[in-house]
Amino acid sequence: MSTQRAVVIGISGCSSSGKTTLARLLRDIFPSTFILHEDDFYKPENQLPVKQGLVDWDCPEAISIPDMERALLHVRATGEFPPDVDSKEDQNSVGACPVTAEQVATVKARVDDWLQRSPARHALLAPEGGLAPYRLCLLDGFLLYTPAMASVMRLIDIKLFLLVSRERATQRREARDGYVTLEGFWKDPPGYVDKIVWPNYATAHSWLFRDGNVEGELDTGVLAETGIRAPLGHGLDVEMGKILNWAVDTIMQDLDVRFAS
């Protein structure tokens, strides 16, 4: 931590698994926190690959990985949002928040108490006046934990992985209005989830699961080796309140270890 000014927290999983919702909740709960979106590193649409006659936004080749690396190196070194990243993602709606204001307030009070119980924690993350010595960067991305992103993975300090069933992911994705892009706006054509989104997710993440089944059990050995954390033992479609509590507990435990070393 002596040479870093930000802890990068990756939040990954299939499209529509709740990543952006969780990132926005954590931003409001932890002090000195900002979000960096993988979607802000898409290549121009005319450079994206085509699969089964459809533009493929959901593969590693659609992302400028070198630009992501440079942005993360800047974040870790300075604790600041990269000045050359023009974020479009916060213009996209993720629908109504599935966590009540009361639940959020309860979790935030728990984090505030955690900060107050340790002068070291409070001094690092929430000093009185001025910028905190360390900040938290929430990296929200659908494709962070795949071999093609190895150079990005090494720059992520805390790796959270959200699970979702194919049925739930399809339902959520198809309910979206569309996405703001560099060129304007994109709306999924019919069949996009079945032809592109889910097959790509399964291909990219099969290595994390026993027998390669992305709706089956995660391989705990691989998780331990890579440092990827997931809400084990709760099934696939865990309600966001439980996910939020799990993520907050995981982050606090990891930060205590980091700041103590």
Scanning 64-211, the segments in alpha helix (DSSP H) are 65-78, 101-116, 119-125, 150-153, 166-174, 192, 198-205
Check pLDDT > 80 for residue 129.
no
60 is a domain residue:
yes
Checking if the pLDDT of 251 tops 80, the result is yes
- Do the domain assignments include residue 123? no
What average pLDDT does range 186-202 have in this prediction? 87
Whether the predicted pLDDT of 245 surpasses 80: yes
At residue 231, the 3 state secondary structure works out as coil
Exposure string (b/e) for 202-216, b if CB count within 10 Å is 16 or more?
bebbbebbeeeebee
Band the pLDDT of 77: cuts 50, 70, 90.
very high
Q: Is the pLDDT at 60 greater than 70, yes or no?
A: yes
- State pLDDT tens for residues 103-122: 999 999 999 999 988 888 88
Give the residue, 98 or 40, on which the prediction is more confident: 40
Q: Is it the case that residue 156 has pLDDT exceeding 90? A: yes
Closest by CA position to 11, among listed 104, 195, 118, 141: 141
Yes or no: say if 32 and 119 are a contact pair by the CB < 8 Å rule.
no
> Which pTM was predicted?
0.90
For residue 259, being part of any structural domain is answered with: no
Domain contains 112: no
Domain count, the chain: 1
Can you tell me whether residue 58 is helix, strand or coil? coil
User: Residue 235: which CATH number?
Assistant: 3.40.50.300
Give me the percent of the chain exceeding a pLDDT of 70.
89
What pLDDT is attached to residue 15?
Answer: 86
Flag whether 212 is in a domain: yes
- Parallel, antiparallel, or unpaired: how do β-strands 158-162 and 50-51 relate? unpaired
The reply to whether 241 falls in a domain is yes
Q: How far apart are CA 133 and CA 259, in angstroms?
A: 12
Q: How far apart are CA 140 and CA 20, in angstroms?
A: 6
| pLDDT confidence of residue 234 | 81
What is the rounded distance in angstroms from the CA atom of residue 158 to the CA atom of residue 228? 8
- 124 within a domain of the structure (yes/no): no
Contacts of 192 (CB under 8 A, 6+ apart): 54, 173
Burial class (CB in 10 A: 0-12, 13-18, 19+), 55: middle
**Dihedral (C-alpha) 50, 54, 55, 56: value to the nearest 10 degrees?**
-80
- The more confidently predicted of residues 180 and 81 is 81
Output the CA torsion 112→114→119→122 (10° steps): -40
The residue that leads in pLDDT, 132 or 236, is: 236
Within a domain: residue 50?
A: yes
Q: Is a pLDDT exceeding 60 seen at residue 37? A: yes
**pLDDT-derived band of residue 2, with 50, 70 and 90 as boundaries?**
low
Range of the domain at 84: 6-99+133-248
| Predicted pLDDT at 151 | 94
Q: Is the pLDDT confidence value at 229 over 80?
A: yes
Percent share of the chain, pLDDT over 90: 59
Type of residue found at 131:
L
